[in-house]
Amino acid sequence: MIRLIQIDPSDNVAIVTENAAKGMDLEGIVLLQDIPQGHKVALKNLQKGDEVIRYGVTLGYLLEDIEVGSWINETMLALPDLPSLDSLTYAQGEAVVLPKPSITTFEGFDNGPDLYAGTRNLLAITTTVQCVSGVVNQLVGRIRSTLLPKYPNVDEVVAINHAYGCGVAINAPDAVIPIRSIRNIMRNPNFGGEIMVVGLGCEKLTVDKLLPPEEINAENVLMLQDYQGYAAMMEALLKMAETKLEALNRRKRTTLPLSKLCIGMQCGGSDAFSGITANPSAGYASDLLVSGGATVMFSEVTEVRDGVHLLAYRCVDKEARDKLVAEIGWYDAYLAKGEVDRSANPTPGNKKGGLSNIVEKAMGSIVKSGRAPIVEVLGPGELPTKKGLIFAATPASDIVCGPSQLASGIALQVFMTGRGTPYGLAEAPVIKVCSRNAMQEQWPDLIDLNAGGIATGEESVQEVGKRLFELILDVASGKKKPYAEQLKLTNFLCFFNPAPIT
CB count within 10 Å of CB 318 equals 10
Query: What type of residue is 59?
Result: L
Between 283 and 373, whose beta carbon lies closer to Ca ion?
A: 283
Instruction: Annotate each residue in 240-269 with x if it binds Ca ion (CB under 5 A) or - if it does not, as one string.
Output: --------------------------x-x-
Please give the helix or strand (H or E) that residue 246 lies within, else none: helix 230-249
Identify the DSSP state of 107.
E
- At residue 224, φ and ψ (nearest 5 deg) are -60, -35
Whole-number minimum distance, CB 267 to Ca ion, in Å?
A: 6
Binding range to Ca ion, per CB under 5 A, among 193-201, 221-229, 393-401, 435-443: 393-401
In the complex, least distance from residue 430 CB atom to Ca ion, rounded to whole angstroms: 12
Cα gap 40→213, rounded to integer Å: 58
Q: Measured from the CB atom, is 127 or 421 closer to Ca ion?
A: 421
The nearer residue to Ca ion, 74 or 398, going by C-beta atoms, is 398
Give the nearer residue to Ca ion in terms of CB position, either 118 or 380. 380
Beta carbon of residue 436, minimum distance to Ca ion (angstroms, whole number): 18
Binding positions for Ca ion, 442-471, rule CB under 5 A: none
Q: How far is the CB of 310 from Ca ion (least distance, A)?
A: 19
Task: Please report how close the Cβ of residue 369 comes to Ca ion at its closest, in angstroms.
Answer: 14
| CA–CA dist 191, 456 (Å, integer) | 41
* Stretch near Ca ion under the rule CB under 5 A, chosen from 53-61, 206-214, 390-398, 403-411: 390-398
Q: What are phi and psi of 295, to 5 degrees?
A: -110, 130
- Per the DSSP assignment, residues forming a β-bridge with 374 are 315, 389
Backbone phi, psi, residue 32, to 5°: -90, -15
Q: Strand 25-26 relative to strand 29-30: parallel, antiparallel, unpaired?
A: antiparallel
Cα gap 26→15, rounded to integer Å:
11
Binding range to Ca ion, per CB under 5 A, among 252-260, 325-333, 351-359, 395-403: 395-403
Q: Which is nearer to Ca ion, 361 or 466 (CB)?
A: 361
C-alpha 360/C-alpha 367 separation (Å) is 12
**Helix, coil or strand: residue 428:** coil
The reply on whether position 156 binds Ca ion by CB under 5 A is no
Q: How far is the CB of 398 from Ca ion (least distance, A)?
A: 4
The minimum distance between CB 320 and Ca ion, in angstroms, equals 22
The minimum distance between CB 266 and Ca ion, in angstroms, equals: 5
Stretch of 205-213, 274-282, 331-339, 398-406 lying at the interface with Ca ion (CB under 5 A): 398-406
Q: How far apart are CA 330 and CA 279, in angstroms?
A: 26
Comparison of 108 and 268: residue with beta carbon closer to Ca ion: 268
Query: What strands lie across the sheet with 71-72, from one edge to the other?
Result: 4-5, 13-16, 40-42, 71-72
The one among 11, 155, 194, 398 contacting Ca ion by CB under 5 A: 398
Residues that bind Ca ion (CB under 5 A): 266, 268, 396, 398
